[in-house]
Structure 1
Amino acid sequence: MINKLSTGRILSIDAFRGITILVMIFVNSVAGVHGIPSWMQHAHADEDRMTFVDVVFPAFLFIVGMSIPFAINSRLNKGDSFWQLQKHILWRTLGLLVLGVFMVNTDELNPAATGMSMGVWALLFYGSVILVWNVYKFEQPWISWCLKGIGAVILIVLAVIYRGGEDGAHYLTPQWWGILGLIGWAYLYACIIYQLFKGNHNAIFFMIAVCIGYYILCRQPFIQNSEWSLLASQGGNAAHTAIVLCGMLLTLFYFDEDLGLTGSRLVSRVAGFCTVLLIAGAWLRPAYKLSKIQATPSWCLYCAAICVAVFSLLYFLIDVKHFNRWTSFFKPAGSNPLLTYILPDIVYFGMMALGLSLPAVLQEGVPGIIWCMCFAVAMLFVVKGLNKLHIRLQL
């Protein structure tokens, strides 16, 4: 064990994850609605501002950081060796990178050059994802491995036949890693840092500053225009890693029994951490502005501070005051986040393959916003049903 953490499921973390997924489905859906206010859209790259939409992705990163200490210590407690743990971390990272690359390339698919419509190709991709990463309950392990093997073969075939771009000359490439891929890189770096410093909270706080400093260094002209430009390309990943480490540090504040933070000591430590994040973000904003697209330090620090505040409120309500019956609505999505994440895309591409589309009235203004709200809630109910059918994805 690296840290002596509280045992059992932490309802507030599950609720935070479920709420984030619900909001994610809504903002992804509403992005296709015309005539929505600017505060419901991502800020542009050249703007010095952010909206609540720009906090959804960092909230995912933050929750990944909160989960890492529990996940690593759980595997060590079950008897994993050092190398078994590293294999697990690398496999999860690879899975996130592969999924990210496939999802990014889907919208660029050229049906004529690929020999398959975008809707069919995407449905085969998501179907193979379910085959490969589903948690099977068969008594005979060979059935599970056969299904995983079929899914892997389909993924390889889809990658080989893929052609993208208007001229159909582009192959499946990581033009960028996609949301899942970016989470994968940040997850990998955070796991390395957590193990390297043996879960020491002071060292993790220091590494948050190092990650922010690395981003700032990478933005300097003498780095971007030198032979070190490849290292400079990792500046965004460093910024994302800083958010993951903020989540990790909050987990240690709340749940590391060796730290023993309770009562006023816990409140002052968490409040102090949140204040430091806000002050640092405000201090760096004039130089690097507030931008999700550019993953600027101020955006990272402000979003991390928001996540600290939101989780602290949830923890107080759910784990301290035991006002938690309402969390059961979010539990299915919180326990099956990957399936919940890809489910809206499956619906979207399923409609595309069938030649269906939403009525125009649901693609504009207030009716469109209301529809996206209903759709997000419906997806959580669908995931609940899929959970009962033992369809649960795990990287």
Structure 2
Amino acid sequence: MQYNKLSSQRILSIDAFRGITILVMIFVNELAGIRDIPAWAKHMHADEDAMSFVDAVFPAFLFIVGMSIPFAINNRLKKGDSVWQLQLHILFRILGLLVLGVFLVNTEEGYNEQLMGMSINLWALLFFVGVILVWKVYYTKNKTLVYILKTIGVVLLAALAFIYKGEKGEHITPEWWGILGLIGWAYLYSCIIYQLFKGNVLGICLMIAVCMGVFIASHTDSLKDISWLQWTHAQSGNAIHTSLTLSGMVLSLLFFKMDKEIKESNRFLNAFIFTAALFVAGYFLRPAFKISKIHATPTWALYSAGFCCIIFIFLYWLIDKKHIEKWTSFFKPAAANPLLTYIIPDIIYFLTALLGISLFPDSLAYGLPGALWSAFFAVAVMGIAMLLSKIKLRLQL
């Protein structure tokens, strides 16, 4: 059973989009520590009613997750997974994202190294060892060895969670879920919606509107005190993030759903109509809800999804239609190994801090020199990911 008949070809433009997003993410994370750079190179303040390209990086992650969901679910079912096996696989992926998100958030602040009996740098590096042991793709037929290594990883993560102490001696807690955790919740809701509507584009578009409605209900004075709508307060952020993932899912289906014979020109036309609808919806909602990444508003999500659509439409035309694709080889290792690429910068930060090495001299902490350093660091991380892929170090949730 499959929900849709999708293109069987490898979509290079999706891989390229994923790789580019990871590169930009590493760049802007490093750029965040640079002084004296233009406002458009930073996150906009919460109440500015504006967004920069930096504010669109996280939405691009969510958008690409959505683009990949139909292919991932269909591939699992094509391989013979039952519906229940598929749900179990989805739940394990979500659990992994939540665990990773919570651990990473707790390395940022609020820890008590004295009570832990070790530095946060060592604790974090041991955490990454556990991550690699649990989620590494093992290229061996020795299943016993694989189970042993994964078990060691699980035990190590559990021990680290027990060792961790907050400022007042409390155990590790989800103050918030972190970027990976937020992706996990959006992934969960999007997978449920995709299956409930059996991949129907109109049904998924309706759920994008419902997601907007959840946010509106929780932020409208005349609605937010209604008892049966109280649940919207806790879920408004997840609803907006899910709308971004669903937007990527819709664009993917418009281009790659092969249930009917549709001319390529009509697929592009449908994609442009969907893109325009996102921008129009954002325009009409903007007077009531400012553009704000910090507040995760509908306008921010709709405009971000619209920009993602434009970028992908161009990449698809350039790479998969015009076959101008050689340049994408640089992004392939990161696109195929996103989790490892995502944690490489943190591994570098914690390792250099543990060793007392500074990779960030004061002369590179401002202006153009800092921006150039950030770009160099991002490219270097991509190079490391390429080398690790060559030695078959790959992580998969």
Note whether the superposition's TM-score is higher than 0.5.
yes
Alignment match, 1:180: 180
Task: Tell whether 2:129 aligns with 1:133.
Answer: no
Q: Which moved more, 1:291-300 or 1:106-115?
A: 106-115
Letter in 2 for 1:211: C
Q: State the Cα distance separating 1:177 from its structure 2 match.
A: 0.6
For the residues of structure 1 that align with 2:42 and 2:261, how far apart are their CA atoms?
A: 41
Alignment match, 1:147: 149
Q: State the Cα distance separating 1:37 from its structure 2 match.
A: 1.4
For the residues of structure 2 that align with 1:259 and 1:116, how far apart are their CA atoms?
A: 60
Q: Which whole-Å deviations, capped at 9, do the CAs of 1:306-343 have from their partners, x for residues lacking one?
A: 00000000000000000000000000000000000010
Alignment match, 1:77: 78
Say if 2:215 and 2:232, in contact at 8 Å, map to a contact too.
no
Map residues 21-100 of structure 1 onto 2, 5 A cutoff. 21-100=22-101
Alignment match, 2:262: 261
Say if 1:62 and 1:243, in contact at 8 Å, map to a contact too.
yes
For the residues of structure 2 that align with 1:106 and 1:92, how far apart are their CA atoms?
A: 22
Alignment match, 1:328: 329
Q: Which moved more, 1:30-39 or 1:246-255?
A: 30-39
Alignment match, 1:250: 251
SS of equivalent residue, structure 1 residue 154: helix
For the residues of structure 2 that align with 1:230 and 1:347, how far apart are their CA atoms?
A: 40
For the residues of structure 2 that align with 1:282 and 1:275, how far apart are their CA atoms?
A: 10
Q: Which moved more, 1:114-123 or 1:80-89?
A: 114-123
CA RMSD between the two structures: 1.2
Gaps of 5+ in 1: none
Match of 1:380 among 370, 379, 382: 382
For the residues of structure 2 that align with 1:8 and 1:265, how far apart are their CA atoms?
A: 19
For the residues of structure 1 that align with 2:381 and 2:307, how far apart are their CA atoms?
A: 26
Q: State the Cα distance separating 1:221 from its structure 2 match.
A: 3.7
Q: State the Cα distance separating 1:259 from its structure 2 match.
A: 4.0
SS of equivalent residue, structure 1 residue 287: coil
Alignment match, 1:296: 297
SS of equivalent residue, structure 2 residue 395: coil
Letter in 1 for 2:103: F
For the residues of structure 1 that align with 2:303 and 2:318, how far apart are their CA atoms?
A: 23
Letter in 1 for 2:173: T
Say if 1:110 and 1:164, in contact at 8 Å, map to a contact too.
yes
Say if 2:70 and 2:249, in contact at 8 Å, map to a contact too.
yes
Q: Which whole-Å deviations, capped at 9, do the CAs of 1:226-257 have from their partners, x for residues lacking one?
A: 66544421111011101100100111100001
Say if 1:21 and 1:341, in contact at 8 Å, map to a contact too.
yes
Percent identity over the alignment is 58
Gaps of 5+ in 2: none
Letter in 2 for 1:219: H
Letter in 1 for 2:51: M
Q: Which moved more, 1:60-69 or 1:214-223?
A: 214-223
Say if 1:16 and 1:314, in contact at 8 Å, map to a contact too.
yes
For the residues of structure 2 that align with 1:287 and 1:158, how far apart are their CA atoms?
A: 45
Letter in 1 for 2:214: Y
SS of equivalent residue, structure 1 residue 286: coil
Compute the TM-score of the two structures, normalised by the length of structure 1. Answer: 0.97
Task: Tell whether 2:120 aligns with 1:118.
Answer: yes
Letter in 2 for 1:278: F
Task: Tell whether 2:393 aligns with 1:371.
Answer: no
Query: How many corresponding residue pairs?
Result: 393
